[in-house]
Structure 1
Amino acid sequence: ETLNREIEDYYGKRLKKTSDLKTNACVAPVQPTPDFIRQALKKVHPEITARYYGCGLVVPECLEGCRILDLGSGSGRDCYMLSQLVGEKGHVTGIDMTDGQLELARTYVDHHMKEFGYKKPNINFVQGYIEALTEAGLENDSFDVIISNCVVNLSPDKRLVLTEAYKVLKDGGELYFSDIYSNGRLTEEIKNHKVLWGECLAGALCWKDLLQLAEKVGFSPPRLVTASVITVDNKELQDILGDFKFVSATYRLFKVPKGNTKNCKVIYNGGITGAEDSFQFDCQYTFMANEVVEVDGEVANILTHSRFAEDFTFQPLGGPTGPCGVKPKAGIEDPFELALKLGVQGPASATGGCCSTQSAGCCK
């Protein structure tokens, strides 16, 4: 409770604009964004955009008609952008604990609905904590996608956040989120440092702990999408952090049945908006339209049971390891390893996600 109040104070009172942030951990630079997302952002009211603190975009694919929940929605910039992507038949809910931010977001609902040409609002904003979604009035099994950008690290109880997200997601639903991770478990001194909390570092989870937490809660194993190294250009803060390293990483977690782990062949049909020619699912798989790809059982299970099912054609394998005896390559699990690889390749990603000091594409 005390920590939540301090964070609320940091984002509600001490920060008036993005330039008030003390480190670059929570600020992503301008990066190449798909045209349809760029056009949607242009229609968001300037005051909403001005009061949106840092952080790049976290926008998964295939959102038409979806019900989306944005954890830590702030001024509502992403919600208003997503409102256009889901269309009038979809719906977007933003949840935030900061009254001032919610008040600002709600002020512009009618303005945006007129701007988008919607007869009735497809968006609402809820006051509450990301550790207590059901308590805030959100129903179980009611969302197709949950997004979150650099917010989970601000929570003192990550397991509770994931548990609540799992509860409110529909079967086949996805938690697509970008956050800061450390290469080890942080010391108490770092964890209790107020500025480092506000700047998204002190609450960083060790990346290996995310894999364990996700499994305990019931999610499919996290799929790493992209990662980039965080640099702290503040000597005083760097001295406190010592040898700990930080990375901004985007993961996909799905609520799908357990146990179906057979490899299979899939063909991407090319129907996803903005990804008509190729769909980058994660750092291991980029699907080219109409190309046959062998995927591991985990990915086959996700694609079969999620909103992506209609965008793929599924074929059984010729034999236990496929027609040529070639199994899919093992994916990169370590986000630091991926960030290093991407650092050499140079930036390419459209929505590299939160807190990254550089945009990063994914391994081909």
Structure 2
Amino acid sequence: MSSGVRESVKDYYGSRLETSADLQTNATTCTLTSMNKSACNALKLVHPDVAKRFFGCGVVIPEKLEGCKVLDLGSGSGRDCYIISKLVGEHGQVTGVDMIESMISASQKFIQYHQEKFGYEKPNIAFVQGYLEKLDEAGIQSNSLDVLVSNCVLCLCPDKRAVLAEAFRVLKEGGELYFSDLYASEVVPESFKEDPVLWGEGMGGSLFWQDFISLAKEVGFSTPYLVAGSEIVVHNAELVKKAGSVKYASGTYRLFKLPQTILDKKALVTYKGTVADNPEEMCFDAAHSFKTNVAMEVDGEMATVLQSSRFSSDFNIQMLDTHHQAPSKYCHLSPFLLACKLGASMKQCSKREAARRADDAASGACEGSGSTGGCGQ
């Protein structure tokens, strides 16, 4: 099945779609997290021909990327790569990997343009063709990267376990996978996977969100941290009928590759206000917002994340004597519940709408807003 799915995706994104406005349905995801100021400024410098072929579904630009080695899983036109190329600086490095040869060729054409636009003496970016399930064949070494990003690509991959396992392998200890994807309210029927439009739009290959949580932990990652959630409302009548009881939501998560020994006690952590664009408060995820110079109690896993990751110098950590218990359920990690809580769903949300919002962002209007739809599972 894998080869058939890959060929279908290659045809859908490599041949049928010229711009993001060519997508056939409204059944795709738009997360409403806004870019920070630095990312907005970088987006304004991205070549228009790169920006118009953006097929992502969210904002996958985490904080504190200066000097980092970053890999974009499923880099497409290269838009996110070029934004991050600016943010990592001349001493950082960005690699985009995609299985579609035409996407790689198209994104490579703009390397010199962005090098000159950013004022770099030499390029800090490269694009390679390869499969996300086999990053070693694309030359990506184990324990070599600080950050991985991905924008609505996991739902297009037939072997999601292999993708997550490879992501875990190539990250350094303390490294992060920060990505957006499309999730289902229940296990998607096998019949969905045979429909090229359902698969191409992300609906046929979406994971049941609870299965994603389990899968991420099985391959070795930390408990996922949910950053953003937005419910998807499908307007195409034919797809509504095909979807039946299955509902969809976009979700942005951050996962960390932690040391084997995770702290088992609670801690008081105090943010120093030292992360660029976050001088007063750092919103780490939907459950953790760290205000500068204000101590906040966290569990041992979060304390381990902050201690072992690139954020270690930005927090003072004081261990407490109180042990914490891991949650038996992960309802708080549901993108459907977060969308309800925040009122973050859009009444019409599509990749075409995402493209419009990207254009707005490029013009300086980087803030997103939305209206509340129905609540999912």
Equivalent runs, 1:17-96 vs 2, <5 Å: 17-26=19-28, 28=30, 32-96=34-98
- Alpha carbons of 1:54 and 1:137: their partners in 2 closer, same or farther (altered >3 Å)? closer
- Alpha carbons of 1:223 and 1:154: their partners in 2 closer, same or farther (altered >3 Å)? same
Deviations along 1:213-260, one digit per CA (max 9) or x if unpaired, are 111111111111111101111000110100111110011110002432
Equivalent runs, 1:239-318 vs 2, <5 Å: 239-257=241-259, 258-317=261-320
Unaligned segments of structure 2, at least 5 residues: 325-329, 347-353, 358-367, 372-377
8 Å contact from structure 1 (residues 261, 301) kept in 2: no
Instruction: Quote the Cα distance in structure 2 between the aligned partners of 1:254 and 1:27.
Output: 24
- Alpha carbons of 1:234 and 1:107: their partners in 2 closer, same or farther (altered >3 Å)? same
TM-score for both structures, normalised by structure 1: 0.90
Q: Name the residue aligned to 2:186.
A: 184
Shift of the alpha carbon at 1:320?
2.2
Compare 26-35 and 169-178 and name the one that shifted more.
26-35
- Alpha carbons of 1:29 and 1:175: their partners in 2 closer, same or farther (altered >3 Å)? closer
Equivalent runs, 1:117-132 vs 2, <5 Å: 117-132=119-134
Deviations along 1:258-280, one digit per CA (max 9) or x if unpaired, are 43221100000011111121111
8 Å contact from structure 2 (residues 28, 232) kept in 1: no
8 Å contact from structure 1 (residues 228, 360) kept in 2: no
8 Å contact from structure 2 (residues 128, 138) kept in 1: yes
Q: Name the residue aligned to 2:206.
A: 204
8 Å contact from structure 2 (residues 29, 249) kept in 1: no
8 Å contact from structure 1 (residues 26, 54) kept in 2: no
Secondary structure of the equivalent of 1:251? Answer: strand
Shift of the alpha carbon at 1:129?
0.9
RMSD: 2.3
Secondary structure of the equivalent of 1:148? Answer: strand
Q: Name the residue aligned to 1:327.
A: none
Q: Name the residue aligned to 1:97.
A: 99
- Alpha carbons of 1:15 and 1:344: their partners in 2 closer, same or farther (altered >3 Å)? closer
- Alpha carbons of 1:337 and 1:3: their partners in 2 closer, same or farther (altered >3 Å)? same
Instruction: Quote the Cα distance in structure 2 between the aligned partners of 1:264 and 1:238.
Output: 47
Shift of the alpha carbon at 1:95?
0.4
- Alpha carbons of 1:344 and 1:104: their partners in 2 closer, same or farther (altered >3 Å)? closer
Instruction: Quote the Cα distance in structure 1 between the aligned partners of 2:31 and 2:211.
Output: 28
Q: Name the residue aligned to 1:332.
A: 332
Q: Name the residue aligned to 1:228.
A: 230
Paired positions, count = 346
Instruction: Quote the Cα distance in structure 2 between the aligned partners of 1:14 and 1:140.
Output: 35
Q: Name the residue aligned to 1:351.
A: none
Instruction: Quote the Cα distance in structure 2 between the aligned partners of 1:128 and 1:175.
Output: 18
TM-score for both structures, normalised by structure 2: 0.87
Q: Name the residue aligned to 1:343.
A: 343
Instruction: Quote the Cα distance in structure 2 between the aligned partners of 1:207 and 1:29.
Output: 16
Shift of the alpha carbon at 1:27?
5.6
The ranges of structure 1 where at least 4 consecutive aligned residues each deviate by more than 6 angstroms after the TM superposition are none
Instruction: Quote the Cα distance in structure 1 between the aligned partners of 2:60 and 2:94.
Output: 14
